[in-house]
Amino acid sequence: MTDMTLSLDQVEVLARQALVRAGATVEQAASVARSTRLAERDGIRSHGLMYVPIYAEHLRCGKVLGTASPVVSRPRPAAVQVDAAHGFAHAAIDAGWPEFDAAVREQGIAAMAVSRSYNCGVLGHHAERLAEAGLVGLCFTNAPASMAPIGGTKPVIGTNPFALAVPDGAGRARLVIDQSASAIAKSEIILRARKGEAIEPGWALDADGQPTEDAEAALAGSMLPAGGQKGFGMGLMVEVFAAALSGGNLGLDASPFSGPKGGPPGTGQFFISVDPAAFSGDGFHAAITRLAGAITDQPGTRLPGARRTANRKRIESEGVQVDAALMDRIKAA
């Protein structure tokens, strides 16, 4: 098979079909396939088609249950709880979304917690979904432990990203901040290990707590937090929201997202949504416009999320380049 170019529609269909063949229901597969499409659209290849063989492997080994039916409840007017039942996080989030949206429209602020979950793809896309609905979105997701505290060697928390998206008042996001507590996403180290490439200095430690540029040694050791102690503190904040508050497993107890070992990771997500109209009214958009302008008016600057937006325009036009080896892995899955 030769390399090929796929449209985003074809990417979504390919992902959905592969996941259904691997044992996912149409509902579970559809949510993940849409996430795969969005990742490829934004140039985030590590969470796009490259992840489909991993999802398929995890369906086959039982790390994620493809026939799970999420259970949605609303214990308080502004609180939504979703039990993902060890299925894909994407499907659980979609299942809880109508109640979540209703809660924030009624209350002005609401939260949705997802437990017994799994990797949720690009966290920023969930925050951006809120911004596109005119809401401020703040999202958290925890991950299996891969990052030791400063001075330690034993991982305690995961890379634990958070995402913030702010609406522009016209149905889009003005800015999207999406970053992990680690110096780099673990998926990037996994990608380097698969290709046999070295990682950058400052990304990870080996199992003995020594700095390493060997991707395999890094996976056996510990990720380094971004900004030292500050990054580790950010990761702890995410752990409080995404695990302790949601009812998901702590990173200490979660099985790895990579490889077939262990049962379902049982991690969690926690989303907070705020309706600006409930607090500052039109003053919110005026303030955000002024703040964004103070950044973009300076030569050489850009708003968080601008690179992804630029990728969208190009990829929607040019399509997604898929190499033959990846296509073979997807078809084999």
Point out the catalytic residue in the list 7, 27, 46, 69.
46
**Mean confidence (pLDDT) of the chain:** 95
pLDDT surpassing 90 at residue 2:
no
Q: Averaged over 256-260, what is the pLDDT?
A: 87
Torsional class of 97: left (φ above 0), alpha (ψ -120 to 50), beta (otherwise):
alpha
Question: Would you place residue 195 in the very low, low, confident or very high pLDDT band (cuts 50, 70, 90)?
Answer: confident
Torsion of CA 241, 247, 249, 250, to 10 degrees: 40
Q: What are phi and psi of 50, to 5 degrees?
A: -60, -25
Superfamily of domain 183-224: Hypothetical oxidoreductase yiak; domain 3 (3.30.60.50)
pLDDT surpassing 70 at residue 295:
yes
Contact criterion met (CB below 8 Å) for 121 and 162? no
Of 97, 69, 91, nearest in space to 19 by CA: 91
Measure the CA–CA gap between 266 and 268, rounded to whole angstroms. Answer: 7
1-10, 65-74, 171-180, 291-300: least confidently modelled range: 1-10
Q: What's residue 160's pLDDT? A: 96
Of 234, 228, 123, 225, nearest in space to 182 by CA: 225
Q: Averaged over 33-56, what is the pLDDT?
A: 95
Q: What's residue 3's pLDDT? A: 85
Give catalytic status of residue 47 as yes or no. yes
Q: What's residue 194's pLDDT? A: 83
Q: What's residue 282's pLDDT? A: 82
pLDDT surpassing 90 at residue 61:
yes
Give the percent of the chain with pLDDT over 70.
100
Measure the CA–CA gap between 239 and 182, rounded to whole angstroms. Answer: 13
Contact criterion met (CB below 8 Å) for 221 and 212? yes
Residues with Cβ < 8 Å from 170, sequence gap 6 or more?
A: none
For the stretch 83-135, pLDDT in tens is: 999 999 999 999 999 999 999 999 999 999 999 999 999 999 999 999 999 99
Give catalytic status of residue 188 as yes or no. yes
Per the DSSP assignment, residues forming a β-bridge with 27 are none
Q: What's residue 333's pLDDT? A: 81
Strands in 211-212's sheet, in edge-to-edge order, are 211-212, 204-205, 222-223
Contacts 24+ apart (CB under 8 A), 227-233: 228/150, 229/150, 231/181, 231/182, 231/183, 232/147, 232/149, 232/150, 232/157, 232/181
Q: What's residue 241's pLDDT? A: 98
Measure the CA–CA gap between 266 and 243, rounded to whole angstroms. Answer: 9
Residue 47 token pair: 């969470």
Measure the CA–CA gap between 180 and 237, rounded to whole angstroms. Answer: 12
Q: What's residue 186's pLDDT? A: 82
> What is the residue extent of each domain of the chain?
4-182+225-280+307-332, 183-224
Of 140, 146, 132, 220, nearest in space to 182 by CA: 146
CATH number of 4-182+225-280+307-332: 3.30.1370.60
Q: Averaged over 276-289, what is the pLDDT?
A: 93
Give catalytic status of residue 213 as yes or no. no
Point out the catalytic residue in the list 35, 40, 47, 285.
47
Point out the catalytic residue in the list 27, 99, 188, 216.
188
Q: What is the value of pTM for the model shown?
A: 0.94
Q: What's residue 1's pLDDT? A: 66
